[in-house]
Amino acid sequence: MTFRTKNRRLICAAVCAGVILALGGCGGEGEKTQSAMGMIQELNYTEALEMLDAAQEEGENLRMVNRARGIAYMGLTDYAQAAACFEEALAGSDGLVEDVDFDLNFYLAAAYTKSGRYSEAEPIYDAVLALRPDEKDAYFLRGNVRLQLGNHKGAKEDFDKVISMDPYNYDRVIEIHEVLEYFGFGEDGKVYLRAALENKDKPMDKYAVGRIYYYLGEYQNACLALEEAREKGGAESYLYLGKAYEATGDYNYAANVYNSYISKNGGTAEVYNQLGLCEMAKGEYQKALEAFQTGKRMENATMLQTLSFNEIVAYEHLGEFKQAYELMGTYLKNYPDDEQAKREYEFLSTR
């Protein structure tokens, strides 16, 4: 079984056009709709849908009810039903374009993308940009969709536009590189990274420099920059420093980096996950298990899936196949679209 890093999950999130979508409300939600949104954040999608039925019966804002329904169906990986809910919510407009209409269009495009309906997602971003030409996220997400459609030139135009609008957003530069690498255009992605390093208009701090070098694969340079940055930065500085040392094969020092942050700051879900991966690479499976389990207690919903999967991997390496099998069954109830997990569940059933 292959364990998972957070970065791989983030790449997939970008490709699926889901990276900018938040679970926050848009205003106008009734009490039951708000409760349902809370359930969604806790991954209780079925209960949320039941609550939304009650919200509709009580006459709460139907557009907001359908919006929440769509998000719940996205969580259940029923993208066709999710798209239908978002379409119904959009159809309830009074003709005046409001912020919620843009929000719904982004969600609808995400549902289309997740279900492979890329040719239907692209016009949504076209429409958004016709009304809001400064919407940087729409350019970025349309670039993702264009890559799915094989339109590399169009994707590059969108990514160039994003960079021109926000040249010092290094997070976005890195996201663009990761997406291009995912689709087999890694060298194109490195062009953006090198351009960011060479841009002398604004000094780049050592943390940003270190991250850029990390994604360029220049790990020694990354380590040098990030060693300077870690005392000034937070968890992310330690994470990238540790990962840079992992990339050089120095897992012992990388583990020391993660443990140093934990001892000083108490740790985060991301740090515990990376520590677990590092211990896994060292063959220290019990230590890895403990790190993943501690990370799960951090109550970070964005990391819960990755940590849960890696916990199962650790149990399997420890030879505790029954426990791994039981946990995988629970995992698939929460994340039913994970094809790798389905294959592993079938394998575990034979052990």
Handedness of CA 152, 155, 159, 165 (dihedral sign): positive
The rounded radius of gyration (Å) of the Cα atoms in the chain is 22
Ramachandran angles phi, psi of 117, nearest 5°: -95, 60
DSSP state letters, 272-297: HHHHHHHHHHHT-HHHHHHHHHHHHT
pLDDT value of position 259 = 96
Cα–Cα distance for residue pair 331/313, rounded to 1 Å: 12
* pTM of the predicted model as reported, rounded to 2 decimal places: 0.83
Q: Is residue 299 left, alpha or beta, with left meaning phi > 0 and alpha meaning psi from -120 to 50?
A: left
3-state secondary structure 26-60: CCCCCHHHHHHHHHHHCCCHHHHHHHHHHHHHCCC
pLDDT value of position 94 = 81
Query: What count of residues does the chain have?
Result: 351
Cα–Cα distance for residue pair 104/108, rounded to 1 Å: 6
Burial of residue 286 (number of CB atoms within 10 Å: 0-12, 13-18, 19+):
exposed
Token duo for residue 41: 């954040």
Neighbours of 328 (CB within 10 A): 25
Query: Digits of tens for pLDDT over the chain (351 positions)?
Result: 666 654 433 333 333 434 344 445 566 789 999 999 999 998 899 999 999 999 999 999 999 999 999 999 999 989 999 999 999 999 998 888 889 999 999 999 999 999 999 999 999 999 999 999 999 999 999 999 999 999 999 999 999 999 999 999 999 999 999 999 999 999 999 999 999 999 888 889 999 999 999 999 999 999 999 999 987 778 899 999 999 999 999 999 999 999 999 999 888 999 999 999 999 999 999 999 999 999 999 977 789 999 999 999 999 999 999 999 999 999 998 888 889 999 988 888 888
pLDDT value of position 3 = 62
Query: Which of 5-8's residues contact partners 24+ apart within 8 Å by CB, and which partners?
Result: 5/273, 5/274, 5/277, 5/306, 6/270, 6/273, 6/274, 6/303, 6/306, 7/178
pLDDT value of position 43 = 83
DSSP state letters, 1-19: -----HHHHHHHHHHTT-T
Strand boundaries in 100-165, DSSP class E: none
